């Protein structure tokens, strides 16, 4: 049983078990937990300590005895990895012998994991940002009043035509709604532009109903093809434009470009919204479920699903068109200072 003796063995407040395909999301969670003063077992933080160890025995010790909680990130990728299943088995052994909750599931999809019953409460990564997840973990540990992030809308735009200054048009669309709003903007080398707008300044509804139409009008030039992606985020303090919610929105533009019906679009704008934005807009009756359809995007392009406005692909050109590949490569081309993607660990 989990008793005072076991508590003295706990080296970490939280250990994280995940598949490498979800590393970008988990990396931000680990960074925020550490910034909040928690002791976190996250493999990239332990590179020197893991070097030369028998990982089978060491990880068994970490996940079965040395942590207060284990956050287990469930996905199809997680279910088929040898090392993640080893971590899971160790964590479940601890849970079986503990009087208190130990395993805290976070789901990226509906994959069934042995021992994780459907009746066990979980968080949905599609609806929960890294900052929101960290707030929940801190609350579990008794830090109820710790605030880790700011509610914000993330709006990204990419255009095929190099003559379109996406950043300038994005800034103008925001200013047209409210000239007093100060949004964080970034222009990437390929011309893609992203803005982070605090919800306290402009609500998601107003971004959708006012800023997006103004942006569409500004980039609706003859022969222009543009992709706009709107996401409802929780931007962690200190992360800003480097937050996974921002970089994933840029990645979503690339995934949208690779979606076959959209890639064949000849002219005009294609609007997509994230799972979180879609859910909030439907709840507020700003849109109906039939106004958007789930996009057929590359697996794991984002932590969340993408929904495309119905009819966005109505004008289809049968001649094959090159998708905006540069958008999908944007995140990969960023420097290490700008993004948390791309860390490689062979064991996963």
Beta-ladder partners of 271: 228
* CA gap 344, 297 in Å, rounded: 23
15: part of which helix (H) or strand (E)? Answer: strand 12-17
Instruction: List all residues 6 or more positions away from 181 whose beta carbon is below 8 Å from its beta carbon.
Output: 174, 175, 197, 201, 202
pLDDT for 326 equals 33
- Architecture in CATH of 149-333: 2-Layer Sandwich (3.30)
pLDDT of residue 340: 29
d(CA 303, CA 154) in angstroms, rounded, equals 15
Which residues on neighbouring strands pair with residue 67, listed in sequence order?
12
B/e letters for 169-192, b = 16+ CB within 10 Å, e = fewer, are bbbebbeebeeeeebebbebebbb
Q: What is the pLDDT of residue 104?
A: 95
CB 336 within 8 Å of CB 8: no
Residue 109 is classified by DSSP as S
H/E element, 74: strand 67-74
Residue 110 and residue 242: Cα distance in Å, rounded? 28
Domain locations along the chain: 4-140, 149-333
Task: Name every residue whose Cβ is closer than 8 Å to that of residue 150 and which is 6 or more positions away in sequence.
Answer: 198, 199, 200, 234, 235, 237
Residue 211 confidence (pLDDT)? 96
Measured CA to CA, the distance from residue 305 to residue 300 in angstroms comes to 9
Give the strands of the sheet with 103-107, arranged side by side.
Answer: 40-41, 12-17, 67-74, 103-107, 123-124
Max alpha carbon distance in the chain (Å)?
71
Does domain 4-140 bear CATH number 3.90.650.10?
no
pLDDT in tens, the chain (348 residues): 444 445 547 889 999 999 998 998 999 899 889 988 899 999 988 888 888 787 878 889 999 989 999 999 999 999 999 999 999 999 999 988 887 899 999 999 999 998 888 878 899 998 888 888 998 999 999 886 666 678 899 999 987 777 788 899 999 999 999 989 988 999 988 888 999 999 999 999 999 999 999 999 888 766 667 889 999 988 887 778 888 889 888 877 766 655 555 544 545 688 999 988 998 999 988 899 889 988 765 444 577 788 888 866 533 333 333 333 333 333 333 332 333 222 233 445
Integer Cα distance of 146 and 124 in angstroms: 21
Residue 76 and residue 82: Cα distance in Å, rounded? 13
Separation of alpha carbons 23 and 331, rounded Å: 14
Instruction: Report residue 44 as tokens.
Output: 């990239």
Question: Contact at 8 Å (CB) between 270 and 308?
Answer: yes
The pLDDT score that the predictor gives to residue 316 is: 32
Quick one: tokens of 264?
């064949």
Q: Do domains 4-140 and 149-333 have the same CATH topology?
A: no
Q: 52: buried, middle or exposed (CB in 10 Å: 19+, 13-18, 0-12)?
A: exposed
Type and span of the H or E element at 92: helix 82-96
Q: What is the pLDDT of residue 103?
A: 94
């Amino acid at each position: 049983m989990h008793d005072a003796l076991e508590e003295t063995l706990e080296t970490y407040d939280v250990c994280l078990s995940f598949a490498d395909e979800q590393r970008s999301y988990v990396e931000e969670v680990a960074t925020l937990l550490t910034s909040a003063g928690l002791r976190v077992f996250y493999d990239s933080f332990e590179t020197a300590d893991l070097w030369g160890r028998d990982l089978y025995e060491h990880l068994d010790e970490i996940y079965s005895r040395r942590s207060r909680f284990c956050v287990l990130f469930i996905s199809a990728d997680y279910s088929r990895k040898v090392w993640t299943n080893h971590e899971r088995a160790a964590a479940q052994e601890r849970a079986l012998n503990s009087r208190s909750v130990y395993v805290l599931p976070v789901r990226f999809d509906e994959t069934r994991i042995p021992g994780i019953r459907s009746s066990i409460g979980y968080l949905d990564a599609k609806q929960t940002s890294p900052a929101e997840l960290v707030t929940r973990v801190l609350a579990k540990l008794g830090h109820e009043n710790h605030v880790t992030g700011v509610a914000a809308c993330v709006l990204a735009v990419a255009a095929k035509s190099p003559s379109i200054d996406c950043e300038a048009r994005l800034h103008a669309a925001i200013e047209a709604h409210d000239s007093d709003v100060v949004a964080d903007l970034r222009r990437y080398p390929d011309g893609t532009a992203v803005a982070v707008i605090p919800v306290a300044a402009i609500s998601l509804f107003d971004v959708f109903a006012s800023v997006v139409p103004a942006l569409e009008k500004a980039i609706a030039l003859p022969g222009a093809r543009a992709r706009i992606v709107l996401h409802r985020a929780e931007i962690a303090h200190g992360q800003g434009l480097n937050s996974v919610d921002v970089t994933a929105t840029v990645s979503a533009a690339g995934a949208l470009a690779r979606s076959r019906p959209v890639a064949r679009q000849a002219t005009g704008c294609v609007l997509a919204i994230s799972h979180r934005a879609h859910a909030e807009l439907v709840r507020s009756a700003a849109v109906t479920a039939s106004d958007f359809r789930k996009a057929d995007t590359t697996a794991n392009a984002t932590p969340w699903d993408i929904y495309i406005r119905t009819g966005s692909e109505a004008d289809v050109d049968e001649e094959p068109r090159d998708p905006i590949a540069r958008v999908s490569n944007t995140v990969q081309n960023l420097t290490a200072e700008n993004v948390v993607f791309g860390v490689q660990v062979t064991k996963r």
